[in-house]
Amino acid sequence: GTGRAGVWSETGIVQELPAKLTVKWRVPVNAGFSGPAVVDGRVFITDWAEDPVSRTMDGTERAIALDEETGEILWTREWPTSYRMLMGSYAIGPRATPTVDGDRVYVLTETGELACLSVADGSIVWQLNILREFGGRNLSWLISESPLVDGGRVIVTPGGRRAGVVALDKMT
């Protein structure tokens, strides 16, 4: 919540769900543990699809933006990745929920790709691999954190020889 105070101050929350829920829309997504981030009429989520001909856990990760009202896919941003160096039971897709900050959305993949994307069209504003950049080593359960935006910084924990925690300029 506001100021990360751990205080719930929302109003109008439903106390009980109706006996029958109506599905407004459905959109298939691939593998992953990312939760959706719903901001200003858009739903952001990340997933992973294994290349069907790969025998070494190669595939594609992607970030998706959906229209909150209709489920229409507004844009996708894809990048190739390989999970071959990961324990098979953990190589199932991104775990980090995207972080939305104004006109930018920050995504962090299991393999350390941190990307700042345009909310409007998914174009890459900037991107770097936090494990390579800071000498990090992926844990057996992989990267599971969502990027934290604090003021002008985006904070992540590569856990590397050169940096355990880093605060990057969120714009660059």
Mind listing the pLDDT tens digit for each residue in 2-39?
A: 677 888 787 888 889 889 999 999 999 999 989 999 99
| Residue 93, both tokens | 């897709």
The predicted structure's pLDDT at residue 140 = 64
pLDDT (0 to 100) of residue 125: 98
**Predicted confidence (pLDDT) at residue 169 exceeds the cutoff of 70:** yes
Q: What span, in angstroms and rounded, lies between the C-alpha atoms of 145 and 85?
A: 19
Report yes or no: 94 and 81 within 8 Å, Cβ to Cβ: no
State the pTM of this model.
0.88
Nearest to residue 42, comparing CAs of 24, 67, 64, 63? 67
Q: Can you tell me the mean pLDDT for 51-80?
A: 91
Average pLDDT over residues 125-153: 87
β-strand partners of 108: 114
* Per-residue pLDDT, 139: 67
| Overall average pLDDT of the 41-49 stretch | 95
Among residues of the chain, what percentage have pLDDT more than 90? 54
- Mean pLDDT calculated for residue range 40-47: 96
Any long-range contacts for 138-141 (C-beta under 8 Å, 24+ apart)? 138/85, 138/86, 138/110, 138/111, 138/112, 140/87, 140/90, 141/90
